[in-house]
Structure 1
Amino acid sequence: MLLAFLCLSYATYFAVRYAAQAPLDLFNFRQSQTALSAFWLASNGFHLAYETPVVGMPWSVPFEFPLYQYLVALLSQLTGAPLDVAGRLLSFVFLALCLLPARAITRQLKLGDATWYVFAALLFSSPIYLYWGRTFMIETTSLFFAVAAIKYFLELLSAPGNLRSGALFFVCMSLSILQKATTGLPVLAILGIVYLFVSLHALLDRRAQGTISYWRFCVPRIVFAAVYVIVPLLIGALWTAYTDHVKELSPMGKLLTSNALKGWNWGTLAQRTSAELYTKVLWGRVALQNLGGLLGLAVLVLAMLSKVEKVVKYALICALAMGLLPFLLFTNLHIVHTYYQSANVLFLLFALALALTKLCSRYLPELPLVPVIALLLVGSNYYWFSQEYAPAARTVFDAENSRDYDLGATLKREMPNDKAFVGYGNDWNSTWAYMAERKSFTVPTWAQDYAKLAANPESFIPADKLGGVVLCSEGTNYPTVNELSRWVSQRPAWKMSMVHGCFVALKNTVSIPHGANVRAVQCDGGFDRADYTVSGDQAMFTVAGWAKFAGEAADSRQNLLISLSKDGGAPQYFEAIQIARNPGTVTSAGANRGFSTMLSPPQMSGVYRVGVARVLGDVVEACQLSQDVPVNVK
């Protein structure tokens, strides 16, 4: 009991302590996708065709039913908690709630309190649940409803006419499948097999007694199966058909329908017999890191071979089946994703707790082996958690250590709320869109008409809605920086900059007043770079540095300009993009005051003076900072 309490307490502390972490940690692709959906549900209200604006207009590409996402949005709005905090804590709450139906199940089957306490200790020390149980993901929500459905299923077996239990089973099972089909479907399959087994056993008993009426026996059970098994499946199928219909309305969504992804979801026969599945996933990722390795496997095997009570043996078989079947059904998903096991390892942990307590109570009741072995298993879990998951959970993301954080912060600050951006070099990952709180078409290389999209970012976002272009990779599959520079140079209302090694083009947002009064002011700052380069047929004048004007707060947005003059002539002004300083050059005065611009001027020669200014109302304030740049001067 004490061990379970300590493990739960530490898991709760860990979840709360790191709840504010941006969803940029492990598998940020899935976390940020869920977070992006929750953000736009909070902004737009609940819709079945909810928006996940990362693959272009019309923005909606629904996958799972958005129960968790909408609850996160409501929790954030009602409490004022940041969305990241609400998402992570709600995920952990659903994990903790799994203890309630698990407690009821142990009592219904008379498995003993010790089983539940050991299960709780294993669950909340398991690396999978310590980490993934507090991420911005739907996994624990679907898992909770699946475990709750098992509780009500057992009630139905003992009292088939119990309408309350029937209704709650139906609701919980349907919600589990709707929230994440790959979690709910294996559980429903095993429960269906259990019901078939129980029905056949009852049929044989009645036949032996000579008291059977096949009509009266079969009809109620067929109705039971139809209502409690087939209807939840039908609801899941109808939701999938609806989401496929919505996706078909989007050029990118057509590539993400259930039929288009069936190979990705189900995997191949070769994967089901591969060494990777059994050595890397089942042994390394599951048994070794979450079940105590050989110790846990030995306990499970001995329990299966022992003469424990029949109900214990059946419960072990069912728990093991629920834990192992998903690997054979959704093989590719479990190989590729380390978080997918959070849907089913809980059942293996329950089986291990049951095996341990029943083996010890039956064969060595006088020895305190249960707490000793449980402590060893928990210690093993914590060791493996410390190797990878704990450091990942403790990472604090900022503009220095995270490209996606830096890009998102820049886009959020520099782009109007009603504009969208096109991104290259991030697959169709939602990290940029979520951190920027902007809609996007983050273009994967496997998109249809990719060459057209690369050459014309406005192809799928109308020009009046397009506010930015991000390029983070160059090569045969992406636009080059020269191509992006050429695209910007053809649009006078755009500017270009470098942010964390990526190239960002944005629409100008600062209006330079015609005939503006220019006044000289003092500011802190300096230039990191001011040079002219030529690559191929494309010239580039790059200016970067930092500046802080008097009276400006460190985190406020400045309407920064770069001035460029030749031989003492009148300066031309170009809008700059405000950025964080590059890692290693941050100073206390300039950490949030970086600026960068990349100009594509016609052929240049002579000595050019570069300066820094800002627009303040109808006045241009020219900072005293300046640097002379010789261009093509011999």
Structure 2
Amino acid sequence: MLVTALWLLTRAWHASILDRYEFRQLQTAVSAYWMKVDGYRLDYEFPIFGPPWSAPLEFPIYQWVVATVSRILGTGLEPTARGVSVAFFLATLPAVYGLAGLLGLAPSRRLLVVSAVLASPTYLFYGRTFMIETTALCFSTWFLYTTVRAVRDDRWLLAGLAVGFALLAGLTKITTFAVFLSPAALLIWPHWRSGWITRARSPAAFRRATLFAVVPVLLGIATALWWVRHGNGVKATNPFSGFLTSQAMAQNNVGTWSQRFSVEYWRQHWGNISQMVLGEAPIALLLFCAALVPSSFRRVAAGSAVFFLSGPLLFPSLYFTHDYYYCANAVFVLAGAGFLLAGIWDAPHLPRIARLLAVVVFLGGQLLLFNRSYAGYAQRVLPAPPGIAAVIRETVPTDGVVLVYGWDWNTLVPYYAQRRVVMVPLGRAPETKVLDEVLARLPPGSIKAMLIRNDENLRATPDFIRERTNRFNLVAVPVATSADGDLYLAEDRIPDVLARVRGRTFAGVIFNAPPSTADPDEILLREVDATALALPLLSPHPVRVRGRYGVSAGLSDGRPTVMANATSELEFIPPAGATQIEAEMGLVDASYAKGGGDGTDGISVEIYELQPNGLRHMLYHRDLDPAHNPADRGPQAISLRQEGPFTRRLIFRITPGLHANYTNDWAYWSRITIR
């Protein structure tokens, strides 16, 4: 089972983390990224709300490990995070094995308990995510094992280990640590009771047993509460992060009594359990096994089920909303399942083939459940990172700050942009005084860009945009637009930005060119009589024509064309309802056939839609270099069928390309049809 689990855990190792609960994975990834970049500190960087650039959630043990391993090995952050999660999950298994031994299972039968844990869909999926779940599980399981062993064996070394694991578990994730407290009490009780009632131990040994049982728990809880209070204090220093304090999140974390007694609540849990933790067929098999095994096995299985249910009883809202919380408690019900399988394996009245079949059916049923519930994430094409984040990474200086509206505190863009941001939470966009308070802590001129995403939660009016762009000296129209937001930059940055991204594709992003008056070629372009180009090959006819070397009707390689050497522009008014553009253009053969380096070094062809504010939405861009790329020779077809409808003027532009060299840039249009 271990080999199968390792194979499943390591599939699609370099796949995107945008698979399931990416919101939570990205939060962890952001803090790990900035630890790797800027080093370690107690108030670790979570730079999405502004100074102090920190809003501590969990104690960052997992993130520290990921950042350290990634830095030492030189590996990517995401595959490293997967490796660390898998390592912590595997490190949990010896403790599970040991706990099964404490409950009386023979060494070989304990492997059935470990196998039941390994086969769970919950751990096969979340055991490889960029999350802290397996880290908290590992520390908590070892806390449970070492504490029980310390009390039973009266050993200071084990007690010291129990304290260490309790501190680590409580700091890493207190909601996971809390689920392990009742199992710890129940497993410790028989050993502590023997010294209290039967006087089987000396008074000194009994006092040590009490100490070993109580101190790890108290220190773990106290340390966890200290961290929560410390984090609250840091979050409270920024008005945008105050909603993340434990007081503000109390109802979301703890839930209500009505939830705990809600039929709908438990129906949802049953759906989560039967689809992601323990399948219906394996459950049916276990119920059958329970009727055939000794009562001692049934008691362990029943107790394990109760401990499993303690998670959703303690934190109903969290378990109702996030199925990854089952990483904390699934180990109990799975261990109980392993006990029932061990009982069946040793059932003397069953034939060996029946006992083997029970184990195979259980493990196979769990693997089939994984295939139905989670395996698809390793097989499907996952969403790509937002293209606008890559644009920000390319265009905003590393020390620059981006003001973000419309994303609440979703760290998707900040993580992939790798820039510090000030994210204005949803519903707080109008609170300019609060924004002033946050930005006053930044050095002047820190805001280098603004990203605004309009959706049902934010409708940014022109006045809203104008007020903020004026304040931060940004152009009031976006340099790039996408479904993930419009990006606004300072005017003096736009030419450099457009030059940097020229010829490159960013998923889902449309770039806007500055008004033509900002183009250094503008003063060199001459107006041409557009009526002279009322040719059949242009439909509709152009309403404005300009060119550095003129634009005229002619022949290119024997074909009627419009000769439009770089730089040139043809402007059209699209007919009503136009949705498609079909065009053909190229460079005449003689332009690149010359020897001795006198030929063209390439051109760029661009199609824009003119905006009311003067900016140009880029619809099409391609660089042609026929001298070095045979595919760029001859007529080149252009077809735009998805970018319409076209309601504003269209500009067909040819420029000298990346090298800004006009030598022999003899370009032509042989057809333009807008319909």
TM-score above 0.5, yes or no: yes
| Separation of aligned partners in 2, 1:44 and 1:61 | 16
Partner of 1:567: none
Pair 1:476–1:300, CA change in 2 (3 A): closer
Q: Please say if 1:467 is aligned against 2:448.
A: yes
CA contact (8 A) 1:42 1:73 kept: yes
Q: Give the CA deviation at 1:77.
A: 0.8
Partner of 2:306: 321
Code of the residue aligned with 2:134 in structure 1: it is: T
Q: Give the CA deviation at 1:229.
A: 1.7
Q: Give the CA deviation at 1:107.
A: 3.2
Pair 1:244–1:83, CA change in 2 (3 A): same
Structure 2: give runs of 5+ residues left out of the alignment.
500-517, 525-565, 568-599, 630-638, 670-675
- After the TM superposition, which residues 65-104 of structure 1 pair with which residues of structure 2 at under 5 Å, given as runs? 65-104=59-98
Per-residue CA distance 1:521-578 (angstroms, 9 max, x = gap)? 7646544541334xxxx77643332243769x99xxxxxxxxxxxxxxxxxxxxxxxx
Candidates 370, 373, 378, aligned match of 1:385 = 370
Classify the secondary structure of the residue corresponding to 1:441. strand
Partner of 1:244: 232
Code of the residue aligned with 1:497 in structure 2: it is: A
Code of the residue aligned with 1:227 in structure 2: it is: V
Partner of 1:532: 611
Classify the secondary structure of the residue corresponding to 1:128. helix
TM-score (norm 2): 0.73
TM-score (norm 1): 0.77
Q: Give the CA deviation at 1:47.
A: 0.7
Q: Give the CA deviation at 1:196.
A: 4.1
Partner of 1:148: 142
Candidates 104, 108, 111, aligned match of 1:110 = 104
Partner of 2:265: 277
Classify the secondary structure of the residue corresponding to 2:268. helix
Candidates 58, 73, 78, aligned match of 2:52 = 58
Pair 1:504–1:485, CA change in 2 (3 A): farther
Q: Give the CA deviation at 1:57.
A: 2.3
Partner of 1:345: 330
CA contact (8 A) 2:100 2:113 kept: no
Partner of 2:175: 182
Pair 1:316–1:584, CA change in 2 (3 A): farther
Candidates 609, 615, 618, aligned match of 1:543 = 618
CA contact (8 A) 2:273 2:279 kept: no
Per-residue CA distance 1:101-137 (angstroms, 9 max, x = gap)? 2222333443134543333433333221111111100
Per-residue CA distance 1:257-277 (angstroms, 9 max, x = gap)? 111111111111111112233
Partner of 1:291: 278
CA contact (8 A) 2:449 2:474 kept: no
Q: Please say if 1:191 is aligned against 2:184.
A: yes
Q: Please say if 1:374 is aligned against 2:453.
A: no
Code of the residue aligned with 1:544 in structure 2: it is: L
Count of matched residue pairs: 556
Q: What percent identity do the matched residue pairs reach?
A: 23
| Separation of aligned partners in 2, 1:15 and 1:523 | 49
Code of the residue aligned with 2:445 in structure 1: it is: D
| Separation of aligned partners in 2, 1:93 and 1:583 | 50
Higher relative contact order (CA 8 A, sep 6+): 1
Pair 1:528–1:33, CA change in 2 (3 A): farther
Structure 1: give runs of 5+ residues left out of the alignment.
555-581, 587-604, 628-634
Q: Give the CA deviation at 1:234.
A: 0.9
Code of the residue aligned with 2:131 in structure 1: it is: M
Code of the residue aligned with 1:181 in structure 2: it is: I
| Separation of aligned partners in 2, 1:75 and 1:510 | 38
Pair 1:609–1:329, CA change in 2 (3 A): same
CA contact (8 A) 2:85 2:132 kept: yes
Partner of 2:14: 20
| Separation of aligned partners in 2, 1:304 and 1:240 | 46
Q: Give the CA deviation at 1:58.
A: 1.8
| Separation of aligned partners in 2, 1:60 and 1:455 | 18
CA contact (8 A) 2:388 2:484 kept: no
Q: Please say if 1:394 is aligned against 2:375.
A: no
Code of the residue aligned with 2:272 in structure 1: it is: R
Pair 1:481–1:626, CA change in 2 (3 A): farther
Pair 1:606–1:280, CA change in 2 (3 A): closer
Classify the secondary structure of the residue corresponding to 1:60. coil
- After the TM superposition, which residues 192-591 of structure 1 pair with which residues of structure 2 at under 5 Å, given as runs? 192-196=185-189, 198-200=191-193, 202-206=195-199, 219-281=207-269, 283-293=270-280, 295-296=282-283, 299=286, 303=290, 307-309=294-296, 312=297, 315-362=300-347, 364-397=349-382, 401-402=383-384, 404-447=385-428, 450=431, 464-475=445-456, 477-480=458-461, 483-484=464-465, 487-488=468-469, 494=475, 496-500=479-483, 502-507=485-490, 508-509=492-493, 523=602, 526-527=605-606, 529-533=608-612, 541-548=616-623
Pair 1:458–1:395, CA change in 2 (3 A): farther
CA contact (8 A) 1:65 1:178 kept: yes
| Separation of aligned partners in 1, 2:146 and 2:195 | 20
Code of the residue aligned with 1:530 in structure 2: it is: E
Partner of 1:592: none
Classify the secondary structure of the residue corresponding to 2:48. coil
Structure 1, 162-171 or 112-121: larger mean CA deviation: 112-121
| Separation of aligned partners in 2, 1:50 and 1:626 | 58
